[in-house]
Structure 1
Amino acid sequence: MKIEKFVEPNFGENIYILSDDESKKCAVIDPGLGANVESKVLSYIKNNGLILEYIILTHGHGDHIGAVKYIKERTNAKVIAHHDEKELLLDKKKNLSNMMHCGPQELDADIYVKDKDKLELGNLKLTFLHTPGHTKGCMCIRVGNEMFTGDTLFAGSIGRTDLYGGDYKQIEKSLKKISKYEDNVVIYPGHGPHSTLGVEKMTNPYMSR
């Protein structure tokens, strides 16, 4: 397994490419749009002989979905999101893309998943964890000893809850859900550096409440 990160410069949003070493199948997680980062993502996939199967969205805000259409049109990869995020994805005002540099974005996922649904990516086994709070359909993605936490959990902080669909009590419940996993699980958030659940349990004030 390999994880490659690209950073969308306008909002500092992390775009991840998750790939299986043996099958060369891969998924792009949260493809933001800006400074030709979408072209860099496709170039990386091509140059490394990867096969893009899925575009996976931890949630539907504009900074996380801006390049979905661009990449899908060029690869025909299937878009995956949580079932409760459909409303946000289909509304440019609710997903805030109408106010962002990416321009208005409205799209439908090919596959909507629910809590604890699983997916195979080559030899990798992904588990989707519904973690609402930042949005109604926020989710984390667990694969092996890694977890993509989107805007639910950052290193030292959490995603804001004052936007449409946000709910602080819900994100508290989601953080408790995540905290049950092993300390050595490495987290890859939607913004900022990676960390581990153990470090966040000890130092992140929102995890210790």
Structure 2
Amino acid sequence: MIVEQFRTGGDRNFGYLVADEVSGEALVIDASFDPSMIVRFAEEHGFVIRYIFSTHGHDDHTNGNGAIRHLTGIVPLLYGDTCPRTGVRVEDAASFSLGTLDARILYTPGHTPDSICILVGDALFTGDTLFTGKVGGTVTRAQALEEYNSLHEKLLGLPDITKVWPGHDYGTAPHSSIGIERRSNPFLLQPDFNAFLALKHNWAEYKKMHGIA
């Protein structure tokens, strides 16, 4: 499996191409700002794009969807959409065949109601649900609780070796692993939801106290 991470612009956004080396089939995740760069990479390496996913509906993750659809003829998919080629709906536990690989959808609401993560092999594409050393922003207590549950019930149930590929270069590194985040991410180290929420409310002060950029 090949994972190519692209700095697409915007607010330090990342886009991704994931390819099965055996079949040459590929999928694209969060093709915002400069989708032609990702399509060009696929063409230069002989990969055929089969799917395009957005991890959630915010503009900085979807503003390239029209352009990449024009370039590839592939309809970009968000949570709740049905893939016109396979008839598979983008929902929790849905699986999309990619050559010898499978891309599995994890529904992870919190940052937005339509947030998903995508698991391909041991690579997890987390959008704005989980960053390296941080988690996605939320506005209300209810959203924060949804995010807390998504993190603990979905993502932290994955093996420690699972690689984490986030939607932005916000954290301490451009990628991480579930094991590293489990052991070091301040939000994941909180003993319960109330402590998690308190850290969200006091994150600016926490960063200042601990020298976090």
The two structures have a TM-score, normalised by structure 1, of 0.82
User: Superposition pairs for residues 114-153 of structure 1, below 5 Å?
Assistant: 114-153=91-130
SS at match of 1:28: strand
Structure 1 outlier segments of 4+, above 6 Å: none
2:51 corresponds in structure 1 to 54
Kindly indicate which of the two structures has a greater share of residues assigned to helix: 2
SS at match of 1:154: coil
2:53 corresponds to 1:77: no
Distance (Å, rounded) in 1 between the aligned partners of 2:149 and 2:22: 37
1:43 to 40, 43, 46: 40
1:208 corresponds in structure 2 to 189
Distance (Å, rounded) in 1 between the aligned partners of 2:35 and 2:120: 24
Distance (Å, rounded) in 2 between the aligned partners of 1:42 and 1:182: 31
The two structures have a TM-score, normalised by structure 2, of 0.80
> Do 2:83 and 2:90's aligned partners in 1 also have CA atoms closer than 8 Å?
no
1:173 corresponds in structure 2 to 149
Distance (Å, rounded) in 2 between the aligned partners of 1:42 and 1:141: 20
Give 1:113 shift. 1.4
- Which amino acid is 1:182 matched to? P
Distance (Å, rounded) in 2 between the aligned partners of 1:71 and 1:13: 16
1:194 corresponds in structure 2 to 175
- Where in structure 2 are there 5+ consecutive unaligned residues? 191-213
Matched residues, number: 181
Cα RMSD of the aligned pairs, angstroms, is: 1.7
> Do 2:32 and 2:60's aligned partners in 1 also have CA atoms closer than 8 Å?
yes
- Where in structure 1 are there 5+ consecutive unaligned residues? 87-107
* Cα offsets for 1:54-83 (capped at 9, x unmatched): 111111111111111101112111322212
SS at match of 2:124: strand
1:6 corresponds in structure 2 to 6
- Which amino acid is 1:32 matched to? S
Distance (Å, rounded) in 2 between the aligned partners of 1:202 and 1:168: 21
Q: Percent identity?
A: 33
